[in-house]
Structure formats: C-alpha cells, structure tokens
Chains A and B, each alone.
Chain A
C-alpha cells in the first residue's frame, strides 16, 4: 500500500474505534486544537519530536504531574513512535514512567503522529519491536487503539473506564520520520 492508502486506512480504522483524527498544518494549529478541546492542564510526556516542534512556546504545559496530581482532570500530550494502519493503532515506546502515566491517568490523550510513520500491520511492526528491545533491554511498549472501553455490563460498549475517555490523534506531516523517537 502507498503512504496515502495507509493513511486513509489508518484514519478509517481509528475513527471506527471512536478515536478522533484530525489533520493539522503546523504547531499553531496543534496548539489551537488542544486549547479548544482540552478539559484541564496539559501534561506533556518526554518527546523529542514535540520539543523540536517547539510546542511549549505555543501551549502552557505541565511536565510532571506526579501520581496524586493525575487524579484531577487533565490531559496527556504525547508524540507517537509509529502507527498500524489495519487496526488504527498507535505504538508508543513507554518505558519512561512519565509516558505511561500521561497516557493512562488523564481523561484525554492527545497524540501527535507523522502520517509517514504508518506501517501496514502488527507483523510489519515486529522488526521495530525488536529494535526497541535492542536499544533498551528493559522496556514497556504500548499499542493504543482508541479510547479505553468496556462491555462488561450487559455487553453494552461503554467508553472510558480506567484509561482515557477520549483519544485525539493529530496528523502532522514533517514532525518526524524516525520510528524510534516519539
């Protein structure tokens, strides 16, 4: 599949599982979008691509929320290592505890993805998983597909049980073409 087709499939699949996907043109639009949608303070997990983008000049950010702080309404903001088209999945190297907490505790998760980093499927991801292992022998890798969900009461699909209730994926070309940075 071409890049364009992969992006198309990714957007379709991600939306089908209640992720919100938006293509944005630059850091200003990213900041505007987040300001408009955010339900509370924005917690930025460590992200080389976002630092390069200079997001902190456009948006007020919290760098370390701590465990107790995250009980309040807040949103996590992260980069993305890469994505999987066939299931609408984001892949985040999450060995940093800040990365894990910023994607599990908040009510909203904003993720910035360069659409050039969309792979076909989980099998295509394996060599990169292996490379993550090589670079960091102890690691925590996360596949995230849509917001947190449950169907445990009467099989009714309900969004947002323990993890984020909203997942916003912002597609920004030129952000990063390195699969090993987020």
Chain B
C-alpha cells in the first residue's frame, strides 16, 4: 500500500518535471505575483493586518459553537435554510436529495473548493443531476476530467491550445487558441445554463455571524448569475469561513484579493443575506455548513492555527516546490502548504503522507500568509505524526536513533568517513563524480567532502589572548561547519577575536537535531535538544553565535518547543534561545562593529543569497548586506535573492533530489544574471548547494560564507574563485 502510494507519487513528480511548459507557466506567475502583491499592499501594513486577521480567526475558533449558532439564527431569521454537515457525504446527500426532491435536472456551479473537497459533482451525477461548472478555469478542468491545480486559478497548469481543443469538442467546430476568443466561447456556451438551471451552487468566502449572510469574492461574474437566476441557491460553506462581524468581513475582503492575485479588489464582492426575491416569489436559499474534519483541526493543539486560513492560495504562489511541480503533485484537493495540512485533516493522513515530505522547509509561505500561520511548523509536526505512524524508513531510523543520539558514535563515524571517502575524493575538497548508484547526486553539483580534521580539533589553537574581552561567546558550529567547512568556524574565531570577543567551542555540542525533526523523528530531536542546551550553557557565555541559520532556528525556536513540557529544561532552553544569534547579526546588532571592515574590499562585485532560515527564520537579511557593503564591495542584487537554493538538507539527497535540482538551477540562473563575481551567503547548506552547482558548470563565480569573506578581508585579500 505504502510502497504503491510512494511509487505513484514519484511518477507524478517525474511527469511534472518532464513538462517544461508547466514550469514555465508556474515560474511566469511566480515572478509576476510578488510584484503585483507588493503594489497592491502599498501604503498598508501587512504585518498589522495579518495579526488582526489571525486574532480575529482565533477568536472564532475558540468560540465556534457560539458563532455558529448566531450565524444559523440570523440566516434562518432571514429565510435561509441551514444544514450543518458533519462529513462530506452528509453535505452531498443533503444537496443531492434536495435537487431530486425539487426535480432539478441542471445545477450551475460557481467555483467552490468545498465542493471539490466533497466531490459534489459526482454525488449529483449519481442522483441524475447534471452539474455545470461556470467558472472558466473550473469548466476547463471539468471538460478535461481533472482536478484544480491551484485554489484560485484551477487551470493554471493548462495551455490555450489544450483549452481550444476541449472547447472545440463542445462546440463541434475548431476553435482558435486565442485567449480572448476562448473566453468569448465560454461566455456564449455557459449563458443558457444560468437560465435553464433550477439550482445554483456556490461556495462562500465569508460567513458573517452578525448578519447570517455570506460574501462571495469573485472576478468573472458567474457567482452573481448562479446566485440570481435559478430559483434555488445552495451555498456550501466550510465552517472556517465564519467571522463575527461585518467589520471583520471587511478586513478579509481588504486582504484576500491583494494576497491571492495581487488585485486591489476583485471585480465583484457579493453580500447575500437570506432569501431574496427571485421572479415572482422568494428564492429558496440553503446554506450547507461543512465540518468534514474542521472541528478536529480546530481542536488539534499543534495544527489549530490552520483554521485561520482564508483560502487565498498565496502559500502556493511563492512556493519553490509548487513552482517546480505544480498542484497535481504538491497537493491533493487543496494545494500548497495549506493543502498539506488540510488534506491530513479532511482526507486522512494516508492521503497527506507523501506531500507532507514534499515541503522543502523554506518558509516562503509563512512570510506571505494573511492568517499569520506557521505553515512550515505545522507541516513539520505532521511529518512527525506520520513518522510515528508509519516509521521514517529503516535507514534514517538507525541513523537518528542509534547514531545521532550518541554524539561520540556520530562524530566517530564522521571521522571514519573522512578516511573512507578518499577513493572518490582524489584528495580534493569536493567530489565531482560519485560511482554507481549515487552518481545522480553529483550529476548537477559537486559535493563537499568530510574535512580531514573537524573544527573541534582545530579551533582554539590560534585564538588570540584577549585583554579584557568585550564578551564571551560560545560558538555553535553545527555538523556542516564542524565536519565539512571547519574553515568557516576558524574565520568566525578570527573575526570575533579581532573585535575583542572571546570565542569558545563547547566540546559536548552535537547535531542541532533539525535533520531528525525534519524527517519526522521528534524523539531524537528532543534528546539532542537536551544535550545541546546543557553543552552550550556550560560556560555561562554572554551570547551563543552560529554560522548556520538552520541551527539558529533549532537553538532559538525548536529547543524551546521541544523542551517546553519540562519546567527545568524549558527555562534553560528559553535562556539559550534569548542569547543565540547568527554571527552577522551579532557583529552588526550587538557589537555595532560593521565599520571595522570599512574599505577593506576593493569594489568586488558581490551578490547576496538570502538563506531561507536566516531571512524568514531569524529575520536577518540587512546585516550581512551591511557588512559586505561597508567593507567596500559592490553589492549586485540578484533576482529572487530570498528564493530557496534547493538544499533543504536530506530533501536534496534522499527525499526529492529531482525537485531540488530544478530549484538550484533557478538559483544558479539568477546568480549568473546578477553580474557578480562572488555570491555570499550565511548558511553552509546553501554553500554546499550553490558552490556545488557553480563548480559543476565550471563557473568563474565564487561562493563564500559572509564570515569567511570578512576574515579574508581582514587578512588583506579576497580570492573570488
């Protein structure tokens, strides 16, 4: 079962990757969207707006029964019939039965993700009722027999030629693949449907408890027609759409179009309260409130924030994985980051198990979510749940449980690895080709070797004796700096010593636990959190500095979360969190010493890559740029500087190397187009990926960690490549 599921999933990935036009379409949108979005929010404080939406939605979740009751009373008071459907089947049965009882032959539908979720069309068909989708995108995919690949733009994966062929089958003549013409064909073909239909089915973007009314946010005008012309109107509404008041509804209307498509406002917002006139009588309005797993989501301690979602689809719009494979791979019914979470609750863990691992963890979605949902955090949690249910794979299980939890064994194996790798490294620092089974891993990038001597054996040897140091800091190296790039740790020591800061390297520190956590092994992550909290606080340092932002997130976020249930450990973890920061943030924000590097560079052209966890995890992106620019380098910004490099830890090695490869390819193109000679970054993971990709194409552009760059400048020179 599991194996078949995984094979089917891998097949979908391969198919998507073999469709270059799909990536082209998704990239085109991915490029246009952030600009349109930024323009739409001009003059508004997005952070404040999303805080408000988040709080408002939390309030609804905490008092859901009260608001549901208020909504139902008000809607019924205005002549609507309200039905609360516990499951998808309940909703479908109610609507199908109603249609049969009223003798409905044709129902026109406007776009409703809730009806996709319940597979309403199939249920209606079974009952002998034809459901006609009237949203252009939905009609296209209905004709094609597919499912939406985006919540807001359901047919974003299709091309005009395919649409022309589908429409031609309806009209019985050849239709030219001009978009304007195709839109006109849809207008003409669907028109009669509104008049002929006895039932109009819509979703709703908002349900207002204060009034018992619903609001529809649309562009095409079909929802207005579907809710006006037929004598019966059925609105299928997920209970997460509830808001308390009209003010709250206005706030959702304000943010939704801007975040969904970068529009200031959609063409139509339709507010419907109760049974309004229809011909000579009143309309028959049925509101079906859909639970189908939403109550369980609302009650989940770790996932409940997902109830804040307003279904804008932005999490997919900015997702590098979505841009690479589209919504038919990265989603089930709902797509993108929120799709992973909703799928787990609406359709079950089994349906979510594969896509839960497809998230690369870059947090681009978290930065644009209008409900301020920590989507990545919830996905990580679900990965842990699935890991516990299904196991995380025998190989990973042995590595994490038996090896990683035992620091001496783990580090001993890494040291042994440094010797064992010799046949393939040919004595160089990078591996250009791996033999046999592993060859695909080095097809598109070189891989760094395990360093001959780890940082822990090297650091402290050349540290300066400081007279009255300003601070004592403990350096958390992380596996990558300890065993792959020890020179970065030495650079940190050199730079901080130069700035009169004492650096220690606590011997007992071990892996930060993120690889285990991201693979769904929370237990190992908790054990490592304990070991590291103890190790790092041992010498009572003033600060703990890092050169790996993923480790920074572990120390400042995950340790606190993972140890919160134990009061003794929780306090220590909180303290560690409060004194931990990335080294560039430490130099600029704590020491204020950016001037120490002033003029050391001679105008080298440097572009900067924002590491996901540094920018969106630690909120650091200005600081390294300030260091680079103050030093006298010419900063040449690349496009999409904060787009993921494709690393994602084991994502790029074992779980999704094919997707990683494409994402890295995009990054490489942006770096090459920047006109820089050197690309700087503050993450050893990104360095593995970017340096490896540049080396593989024999690029002249060098890749460097910012702290290495600063150390080299202090030494008096920079050698780009």
By a beta-carbon cutoff of 8 Å, the part of chain A in contact with chain B is 13, 16-17, 67-68, 71, 86-89, 95-97, 100-101, 103-105, 121-123, 125-126, 129-130, 133, 137-156, 158, 160-164
Does the CB pair B219–A148 fall under 8 Å? yes
**22 A-B pairs (CB sep. < 8 Å):** A17-B264, A67-B229, A95-B276, A100-B224, A104-B225, A123-B251, A129-B271, A137-B78, A138-B78, A139-B271, A140-B272, A145-B265, A150-B183, A151-B153, A152-B136, A153-B155, A155-B32, A161-B187, A162-B220, A162-B221, A163-B225, A163-B268
Beyond A97-B277, A126-B247, A162-B221, whether A87 also contacts B265 by CB under 8 A is yes
> Nearest chain B CB to A43's CB is how many angstroms away?
15
Chain A residue, CB-CB nearest to B228: A100
> Nearest chain B CB to A134's CB is how many angstroms away?
10
Name the B residues within 8 Å of A145 (CB-CB): 264-268
Bitwise, B50-81 to A at CB < 8 A (1) or not (0) is 00000000000000000000000000011100
Complex formed: what's the CA distance from A125 to B183 in Å? 33
Beyond A105-B225, A162-B190, A162-B220, whether A153 also contacts B163 by CB under 8 A is yes
Complex formed: what's the CA distance from A150 to B274 in Å? 28
Does the CB pair B140–A152 fall under 8 Å? yes
The 8 Å CB contact of B186, one of A155, A161, A164, is A161
Complex formed: what's the CA distance from A130 to B211 in Å? 9
Q: Which 10 A-B pairs have the closest CB atoms?
A: A163-B221, A152-B137, A138-B274, A87-B265, A143-B269, A141-B271, A148-B221, A162-B221, A152-B136, A162-B222
Does the CB pair B246–A147 fall under 8 Å? no
Chain B residue, CB-CB nearest to A105: B225
Name the B residues within 8 Å of A105 (CB-CB): 225
Name the B residues within 8 Å of A133 (CB-CB): 211, 213, 273
> Nearest chain A CB to B187's CB is how many angstroms away?
6
Bitwise, B137-170 to A at CB < 8 A (1) or not (0) is 1001000000000000111101110010000000
Name the B residues within 8 Å of A68 (CB-CB): 195
Complex formed: what's the CA distance from A133 to B276 in Å? 12
> Nearest chain A CB to B80's CB is how many angstroms away?
9
Does B463 count as interface, using CB distance less than 8 angstroms? no
Complex formed: what's the CA distance from A150 to B134 in Å? 12
Beyond A17-B264, A138-B274, whether A162 also contacts B246 by CB under 8 A is no
- In B249-285, the 8 Å CB interface with A consists of 250-251, 253-254, 261, 263-279, 282
Name the B residues within 8 Å of A148 (CB-CB): 219-221, 267-268
> Nearest chain B CB to A148's CB is how many angstroms away?
4
Complex formed: what's the CA distance from A139 to B214 in Å? 11
> Nearest chain B CB to A147's CB is how many angstroms away?
7
The 8 Å CB contact of A137, one of B25, B77, B186, B277, is B77
The 8 Å CB contact of B267, one of A101, A141, A163, is A163
Name the A residues within 8 Å of B77 (CB-CB): 137
Does the CB pair A95–B156 fall under 8 Å? no
Name the B residues within 8 Å of A67 (CB-CB): 195, 229
Complex formed: what's the CA distance from A58 to B696 in Å? 76
Complex formed: what's the CA distance from A31 to B182 in Å? 34
Beyond A95-B277, A138-B275, A152-B135, whether A162 also contacts B25 by CB under 8 A is no
Beyond A67-B229, A161-B221, whether A122 also contacts B250 by CB under 8 A is yes
Does the CB pair B275–A126 fall under 8 Å? no
Does the CB pair B192–A137 fall under 8 Å? no
- In B13-59, the 8 Å CB interface with A consists of 25, 28-29, 32
Does the CB pair B195–A151 fall under 8 Å? no
Name the B residues within 8 Å of A139 (CB-CB): 213, 271-274, 276
Does the CB pair A140–B271 fall under 8 Å? yes
> Nearest chain A CB to B591's CB is how many angstroms away?
44
> Nearest chain A CB to B342's CB is how many angstroms away?
22
Size of chain B's interface in residues, with CB distance under 8 A? Answer: 66
Chain A residue, CB-CB nearest to B282: A138
Does the CB pair A121–B225 fall under 8 Å? no
> Nearest chain B CB to A126's CB is how many angstroms away?
5
- Interface core residue of A104, A126, A144 (most chain B CB under 10 Å): A104
> Nearest chain A CB to B185's CB is how many angstroms away?
10
Complex formed: what's the CA distance from A162 to B269 in Å? 15
Beyond A126-B246, A153-B182, A162-B190, whether A144 also contacts B79 by CB under 8 A is no
By a beta-carbon cutoff of 8 Å, the part of chain B in contact with chain A is 25, 28-29, 32, 77-79, 134-137, 140, 153-156, 158-160, 163, 179-180, 182-183, 186-187, 190-192, 195, 211, 213, 219-222, 224-225, 227-229, 246-247, 250-251, 253-254, 261, 263-279, 282
Name the B residues within 8 Å of A150 (CB-CB): 136-137, 183, 219-220
Name the B residues within 8 Å of A103 (CB-CB): 224
Name the B residues within 8 Å of A130 (CB-CB): 246
Complex formed: what's the CA distance from A95 to B267 in Å? 19
Does the CB pair A143–B265 fall under 8 Å? yes
Does the CB pair A162–B278 fall under 8 Å? no
Chain B residue, CB-CB nearest to A137: B78
Does the CB pair B247–A71 fall under 8 Å? no
Beyond A95-B276, A122-B253, whether A146 also contacts B267 by CB under 8 A is yes
The 8 Å CB contact of B25, one of A95, A125, A155, is A155
Complex formed: what's the CA distance from A68 to B264 in Å? 34
> Nearest chain A CB to B138's CB is how many angstroms away?
8
Complex formed: what's the CA distance from A88 to B264 in Å? 9
The 8 Å CB contact of A153, one of B140, B195, B224, B268, is B140
Name the B residues within 8 Å of A142 (CB-CB): 224, 268-271
Complex formed: what's the CA distance from A147 to B261 in Å? 17
Does the CB pair B228–A104 fall under 8 Å? yes
Complex formed: what's the CA distance from A17 to B668 in Å? 37
Does the CB pair B224–A104 fall under 8 Å? yes
Complex formed: what's the CA distance from A58 to B186 in Å? 36
Does the CB pair B274–A155 fall under 8 Å? no
Does the CB pair A125–B250 fall under 8 Å? yes
Beyond A88-B265, A137-B273, A153-B183, whether A121 also contacts B254 by CB under 8 A is yes
Name the B residues within 8 Å of A95 (CB-CB): 276-277
The 8 Å CB contact of B160, one of A126, A137, A154, is A154
> Nearest chain A CB to B283's CB is how many angstroms away?
9
Does the CB pair A71–B191 fall under 8 Å? yes
- Interface core residue of B136, B195, B221 (most chain A CB under 10 Å): B221
Complex formed: what's the CA distance from A103 to B270 in Å? 12
Chain A residue, CB-CB nearest to B33: A155
> Nearest chain B CB to A173's CB is how many angstroms away?
25
Name the B residues within 8 Å of A86 (CB-CB): 264
Chain A residue, CB-CB nearest to B263: A17
- Interface core residue of B137, B187, B268, B274 (most chain A CB under 10 Å): B268
Complex formed: what's the CA distance from A124 to B323 in Å? 38
Complex formed: what's the CA distance from A149 to B221 in Å? 8
Does the CB pair A154–B267 fall under 8 Å? no
Complex formed: what's the CA distance from A139 to B283 in Å? 11
> Nearest chain A CB to B241's CB is how many angstroms away?
18
> Nearest chain A CB to B226's CB is how many angstroms away?
9
Name the B residues within 8 Å of A153 (CB-CB): 136-137, 140, 155, 158, 160, 163, 179, 182-183
Complex formed: what's the CA distance from A125 to B265 in Å? 15
Name the B residues within 8 Å of A140 (CB-CB): 227-228, 270-273, 276
Complex formed: what's the CA distance from A95 to B228 in Å? 10
Beyond A139-B276, A140-B270, whether A123 also contacts B220 by CB under 8 A is no
Complex formed: what's the CA distance from A162 to B222 in Å? 6
Does the CB pair B192–A104 fall under 8 Å? no
Complex formed: what's the CA distance from A152 to B261 in Å? 12
Does the CB pair A155–B187 fall under 8 Å? no
Name the A residues within 8 Å of B263 (CB-CB): 17
Chain B residue, CB-CB nearest to A163: B221
Name the B residues within 8 Å of A144 (CB-CB): 267-268
Beyond A140-B270, A163-B268, whether A155 also contacts B224 by CB under 8 A is no
Beyond A95-B277, A125-B250, A140-B272, whether A156 also contacts B179 by CB under 8 A is yes
> Nearest chain B CB to A81's CB is how many angstroms away?
12
> Nearest chain B CB to A104's CB is how many angstroms away?
5
> Nearest chain A CB to B472's CB is how many angstroms away?
52
Does the CB pair A154–B183 fall under 8 Å? no
